[in-house]
Amino acid sequence: MTETSHPIPFKAETRQLLDILIHSLYTEREIFLRELISNAADALTRLDYEMLTNRDVFSPDAPLEIRITANTDENTLTITDTGIGMTSEEMIENLGTIAHSGARAFVEAAKQQGKGLSDIIGQFGVGFYSAFMVAESIRVVSRSFRPDAQAAAWFSTGDDTFTVEEAQRDTRGSSVIVKLKPDAAEFLQEHRLSEIIRKHSDFVPFPIFIGESEEQANRQTALWRQNPRQVEATEYDDFYKQLTLDFEAPLASAHMVVDAPVQMYALLFAPAKAERGLFSLRREEGLKLYARKVLIQDYCKDLLPQYFRFVQGVVDSEDLPLNVSRETIQSTKLMVNLKKLVTGKVVETLKKLADDRPDDYAKFWKEFGRYLKEGIATEPDEPQSLHPLLRFHTTTIPEKWSSLDEYVSRMKDGQTDIYYIMGDDEHSVLYSPHLDAVRRFDYEVLLLTDPLDAFMLARLNKYQDKPLVNVASADLKLPESDAKLEEQGPALPVDDYVPLIERVKQQLGDRVDSVRITDRLTDSPARLVDPAGAPNQEMQRVYRLLKEDFTPPKKVLELNPRHSIIVKLSSLPAGSPLEALVIEQVYEDTLLIEGLHPDPVGMIPRIQKLIEAALGQ
């Protein structure tokens, strides 16, 4: 044994991680093979990248490949690659010490998860150690790509220490030799290995061979570079599942082959769910970026705007320099062109999904609609390209999603504005007194109850030259009409307006800015509107979301002189207990419907007193 072969202790976090892996039971131990193949592919990718600028490597003509060999006599499984390899120092660094943050995160997740931990291994960069789920011991023999490097061997049984020593190896790359536990013999069967490779590693960009066979076990196809007309829909779904380990097929896919202004290929997917599953291989947002089939970035966030961060897929450009750094990539005109092309394709794909498969688009909107609203609020260039993708529930069709085009097609003769109402939930907003004014004309109203709607409306103020107008606005402009007014019965005499206003104002005091009579209400006794000069409702909602201490401005209480409650309130004796109860309840009802009531349960004693009064007790 050489001087470098003395036992070396694992770091504390690595030791904890190994304890979890070795002494726990797993239902999907096959995941270890996926992780070892991924590591081998990474080593090959790094060598491929190195050789673009440096041909002074050991065995430069050796084929880039992965071989998996099972030895039933010795009960070992060996995964060999011809990649970049490691020196003894790199083995100590890479195999004896893993990223502490990754280890700690895995350990914490393990404590919370309790079982099925093999499914979250890939999320924390601890894939190599997953082999201890099936291994009695692991030996890694490696030779670096550097011509003068000495081969080295790393060995561990998963105890507290590992050893590193000099070794003999005639070829560049690494071999991971896994001595299998007796209950892991299934991983010596070639058909089982083939099954796992097809399931987890089919699109690894290097050939994988099992045993002595020269027939590839993986397809290794850069599907994005094929002619879209020759690719079946099921192949796109399979590729997506391979890319993400998502069990569900994507809601939509797009295949791009572009020659100008840049030469590029892309496969893009809209997932079925916004939340990444526990098994997901994609741990961050971003697309895989390739330069001539060489992976440059695993999570490139510069190819799509932030609001399209849910999109999965790959982009491959012939024009991208292979030796370019990430910082240089961000600043190139090429990336600007790629981003424009990819973003345009996503918009086009979503529009096609909406037109061709509206039910699937409704599912998409439920999962990702908020991302598009975010886009309209933040997109500096042409946010109107997203407008046709918006969907809303409305007063006319509250149970289905409607586009702005569909709303416009249903507008009444003479209607020039698109009306909307804001609230905290769609059920309560349907009872808003602000709808009274537009109900006279049977106008349809968009129901905006998502917190992001307020931010969206800061940029979305018109569609097809039709202004978007809030029906809660105090200065809402509507045609003159007496429709429905006669159905409410006799109105409060005009001479009684001022005394009633003074009585209500006296009861409510400085809780309201003012009290006045309105002709905008039909079915409701009262409503709250903003006084002149106050921030509009949209900005108030933004402030409420961004500022915990935001206090909304005092409101104006408007009374409906034709509503029976207001008419009868006026006839009550001034200063009577019932008058105070009614005024307070009418006011707090308006607070409740606006989502501004600080203590709705506090109304119960007053309501009970009103019930007693109604029963004559």
What structural domains does the chain harbor? 3-210 (3.30.565.10), 223-364 (3.30.230.80), 493-614 (1.20.120.790)
Answer with the residue of higher pLDDT: 617 or 208. 208
- Answer yes or no: are the C-beta atoms of 135 and 76 closer than 8 Å: no
Strand partners, 297: 289
Helical H segments across 306-450, by residue range: 326-331, 333-356, 358-378, 404-409, 426-429, 436-439
Q: For residue 442, give the nearest of 396, 409, 408, 474 by alpha carbon.
A: 396
Question: Is a pLDDT exceeding 60 seen at residue 463?
Answer: yes
Distance CA 223, CA 559 (A): 66
Question: Is a pLDDT exceeding 80 seen at residue 597?
Answer: yes
Please give the span between the terminal C-alpha atoms of the chain, in angstroms, as a whole number: 100
Q: What is the pLDDT of residues 505-521, one digit of tens each?
A: 999 999 999 999 998 89
Query: Which residues, 6+ apart, have CB-to-CB distance to 70 below 8 Å?
Result: 76, 77, 78, 187, 188, 189, 190, 193, 210, 211
Answer with the residue of higher pLDDT: 584 or 327. 584
Count of alpha carbons within 13 Å of 397, Cβ hemisphere only?
Answer: 9
pLDDT value of residue 153? 97
Q: What is the pLDDT of residues 382-420, one digit of tens each?
A: 789 999 999 999 999 999 999 999 999 999 998 999 999
Highest mean pLDDT among 229-238, 342-351, 446-455: 342-351
Between 3-17, 225-239, 264-278, 539-553, the lowest mean confidence (pLDDT) is in: 3-17
| % of the chain beyond a pLDDT of 70 | 87
As a whole number, mean pLDDT of residues 590-596 equals 89
Between 266-270, 305-309, 550-554, the lowest mean confidence (pLDDT) is in: 550-554
As a whole number, mean pLDDT of residues 39-60 equals 89
Strand partners, 512: 555
- Answer yes or no: are the C-beta atoms of 525 and 559 closer than 8 Å: yes
Q: Do you find a cis peptide bond into 573, omega within 30 degrees of 0?
A: no
pLDDT value of residue 246? 85
Distance CA 449, CA 65 (A): 55
As a whole number, mean pLDDT of residues 242-264 equals 90
Highest mean pLDDT among 92-101, 124-133, 482-491: 124-133
Question: Is a pLDDT exceeding 50 seen at residue 21?
Answer: yes
Q: DSSP code of 195? A: H
pLDDT value of residue 125? 46
Please state, as a whole number, how many other Cβ atoms lie within 10 Å of the Cβ of residue 219: 19
Highest mean pLDDT among 213-222, 260-269, 539-548: 260-269
As a whole number, mean pLDDT of residues 45-68 equals 90
Residue at token pair 């050789």: 51
Single-letter amino acid code for the residue at 586: V
Residue at token pair 């933004």: 542
Residue at token pair 């024009």: 319
SS3 469: strand
> What kind and span of H or E run contains 267?
strand 264-270
Confidence category of residue 440, pLDDT binned at 50, 70, 90: confident
Query: Which residues, 6+ apart, have CB-to-CB distance to 422 below 8 Å?
Result: 429, 448, 449, 453, 454, 470, 472, 537, 538, 541
pLDDT value of residue 115? 42
pLDDT value of residue 159? 81
Query: Which residues, 6+ apart, have CB-to-CB distance to 329 below 8 Å?
Result: 289, 296, 297, 300, 302, 320, 335
Backbone angles phi, psi at 468, to 5 degrees: -90, 125
Distance CA 609, CA 617 (A): 9
pLDDT value of residue 275? 87
As a whole number, mean pLDDT of residues 343-350 equals 97
As a whole number, mean pLDDT of residues 164-184 equals 95
Q: What is the pLDDT of residues 131-168, one digit of tens each?
A: 888 999 999 999 999 999 999 999 998 887 899 999 99
As a whole number, mean pLDDT of residues 14-32 equals 66
Question: Is a pLDDT exceeding 80 seen at residue 100?
Answer: no
Question: Is a pLDDT exceeding 60 seen at residue 184?
Answer: yes
pLDDT value of residue 548? 66
Chain centre to alpha carbon of residue 571 = 57
Q: DSSP code of 33? A: H
288 to 42, 83, 234, 295, 616: CA distances (angstroms): 14, 21, 21, 7, 74
Question: Is a pLDDT exceeding 70 seen at residue 237?
Answer: yes
Question: Is a pLDDT exceeding 50 seen at residue 88?
Answer: yes
- Answer yes or no: are the C-beta atoms of 162 and 150 closer than 8 Å: no
Distance CA 238, CA 203 (A): 10
Between 69-83, 169-183, 192-206, 531-545, the lowest mean confidence (pLDDT) is in: 531-545
Do the bridges between strand 445-448 and strand 418-422 make them parallel or antiparallel, or are there none, so unpaired?
parallel
How high does pLDDT run on average in the chain?
A: 86
pLDDT value of residue 44? 93
pLDDT value of residue 353? 97
Confidence category of residue 105, pLDDT binned at 50, 70, 90: low
pTM of the model: 0.66
Q: What is the pLDDT of residues 476-509, one digit of tens each?
A: 888 876 555 555 567 899 999 999 999 999 999 9
As a whole number, mean pLDDT of residues 256-280 equals 88
As a whole number, mean pLDDT of residues 75-80 equals 98
